Amino acid sequence: MPTVTIDGRPIDVPEGTTVLDAAAALGIRIPTLCHMKGFDPDPSCFVCVVQVEGRPEMSPSCATVVADGMVVRTDTEDVLGARRTALELMLSDHTGDCVAPCSLACPAHLDVADFIHDIRRDDYRAALATIKRTIALPASLGRICPRFCERVCRRKDLDEPVAVCDLRRFVADLDLESGEPIMPDRAEFSGKRVAIAGAGPAGLSAAYYLLQAGHACTLFEAREAPGGLFRYGIADWRLPNAVLDAEIDVIRRMGAEFRTGVRLGEDISLDELRRQFDAVLLAVGARTKAGGAESFKPSGHTATGGQVDLASIEQLGLEAGPRGVRVDRRTQQTAMSGVFAAGNVTSGPNYGVYAVAAGRRAAVAIDQLLRGAEVTGEPQRVHVVMRDLTEDEVARFNAGADPATRVFVEAGRDGGAARGLSEAEARTEARRCLDCDCGKRDECLLRRCADAAEAAATRFRGERRPFQRDATHPDIVYESGKCIQCGRCVRIAERAREEFGLTFIGRGFAVKTAAPLDETLEAGLRRTAIECAGACPTGALCVRRDLRERHSR
């Protein structure tokens, strides 16, 4: 048996073993996109390259057979750089959105397509669960959100954007009006306690997610009731206190403790909170109406002109930036050990959705700290965004769109809040969604490898492939602009002896994967469509959304 040394570790392997398999036997993971077990190697992606001692060029590990005495390195800067470049080249020619533009535009990164699909299926509980993965106060935000998501909705190129915020409000209101709002599951109590100074949108959001993680939360609020700018900075006709109170009550029932009338810096000091609790979150920002305009006031301190009182921040021993407490934007950590900050106290006056999103980010990082993990915040993912569609591409994208027109709900100022969507209106509006998310948003191997390699989607720029979508097959959808010509589907169809199967057509940059002889996709994949879609490392071949749940079981 030949002996190969990989990253300084020798191993004896049978004759004919590839470097990829030898590395796996040592527990060394080498990424790959084109390789499939049970098939002969057909290296094309260049993501699995390694450096073999004595060879001037990189070698694809999936096709390189070990030889006795071979020395291999999988983790040098040159190797990692070569893999990153290969991924960035593929990303530069990738025509499609990893995540729907509406979700990217939302400061909280709400999974818009997912929750709207749940509404389409009349599964409102699932829709609310999807919403609350990222937004803790959906009924409140559904009334006041600036609708960043709707500004970039691709449906606007056809007629009007989808009423995302109204749909979110519909689901949240339905839950609250049931009298038994859904309570999220909570992990077993961790024994850790978190102090949250400020019970506005950032503090409430952080508490919602920290409680689910099993940590006890005590919220200290300077005013007589929690809610912050949602209660004291927004007119009741826009956001009724009854709605806000109902959402806060969910957090209270989850176990949150509220101590109102307690001012940080006066009734309790930051040092006391640090001594009494395992972590502290400063979320003391609030908007109050003064002289007809909104001004910013950290609880316990006064500032004018919509600016943070930087002197008061420094009195607490924190480092102040030009807009408030200086924090790491990924983790909301301050320079003070165990102290985090989120919301307007870090940014100055801003929309409430930003505070809600910052509270969740802080909760993720605080949970990491309390579990003894590395504090890195929420995972940072690669996003390919499809820009500057031509008229023809827009037409192809909108092909098959539901013809219904947008449902508009006017806001009322005299005697109450604006009404929400009826159930019939919500169903009609949900059908208008174009479902822009990639069908393999979370499972895409190209995206996962790019995340791990810290590849940049925009490092290389050039003429992209046109947007194409073939939805003629009853089980799958094919978007050729996402295909990396790995050949997985070609080999699967060939092994299954499909009558036509798939093949590579053309040469060079113009090559594409398609059924031969101008046959349809359905004719090419009569028996193996689902298998090919499952094997596709990107979202080029994807099972139709209405069939995914059935085939994922």
CATH of the domain at 22: 3.10.20.740
Please say whether the beta carbons of 303 and 297 come within 8 A.
yes
Whether 499 and 357 map to the same domain: the answer is no
Residue 191 has pLDDT above 90, yes or no: yes
> Is 347 among the domain residues?
yes
Ranking 125-139, 301-315, 350-364 by mean pLDDT, the lowest is: 301-315
Identify the burial level of 352 via C-beta atoms within 10 angstroms of its C-beta, where 0-12 means exposed, 13-18 middle and 19 or more buried: buried
Residue 414 has pLDDT above 80, yes or no: no
Total structural domains within the chain: 4
- What's the confidence (pLDDT) of residue 287? 40
How far is the C-alpha of 421 from the C-alpha of 166, rounded, in Å?
Answer: 7
Whether 347 and 245 map to the same domain: the answer is yes
CATH of the domain at 525: 3.30.70.20
Whether 226 and 297 map to the same domain: the answer is yes
- What's the confidence (pLDDT) of residue 115? 96
- What's the confidence (pLDDT) of residue 545? 86
Give 400-465 as a 3 state SS string. CCCCCCCCCCCCCCCCCCCCCCCHHHHHHHHHCCCCCCCCCCCCCHHHHHHHHHCCCCCCCCCCCC
Whether 357 and 210 map to the same domain: the answer is yes
Q: Which long-range contacts (CB under 8 A, 24 or more apart) does 41-45 make?
A: 42/487, 42/491, 44/484, 44/485, 44/486, 44/487, 45/86, 45/90, 45/484, 45/486
Whether 50 and 127 map to the same domain: the answer is no
Whether 45 and 67 map to the same domain: the answer is yes
Residue 415 has pLDDT above 60, yes or no: no
- What's the confidence (pLDDT) of residue 42? 87
Residue 4: strand, helix, or coil = strand
Whether 70 and 114 map to the same domain: the answer is no
Tell me what the mean pLDDT of segment 30-34 comes to: 96
Decide which of 337, 370, 403 is a domain's last residue.
Answer: 370
Whether 362 and 422 map to the same domain: the answer is no
Please say whether the beta carbons of 514 and 524 come within 8 A.
yes
Whether 41 and 144 map to the same domain: the answer is no
Whether 328 and 214 map to the same domain: the answer is yes
CATH of the domain at 415: 1.10.1060.10
Q: For residue 246, which of 234, 257, 235, 231 has the smallest C-alpha distance?
A: 231
325-349 in b/e form (b: 16+ CB < 10 A) is: bbbeeebbbbebebbbbbbbbbbbb
In tens, the pLDDT along 283-321 reads 997 444 332 223 333 333 222 234 556 677 778 889 888
Helices (H), 27-163: 77-92, 101-105, 112-120, 124-132, 138-144, 148-151
CATH of the domain at 365: 3.50.50.60
Residue 338 has pLDDT above 60, yes or no: yes
Whether 366 and 390 map to the same domain: the answer is no
- What's the confidence (pLDDT) of residue 303? 28
Domain encompassing residue 282: 193-370
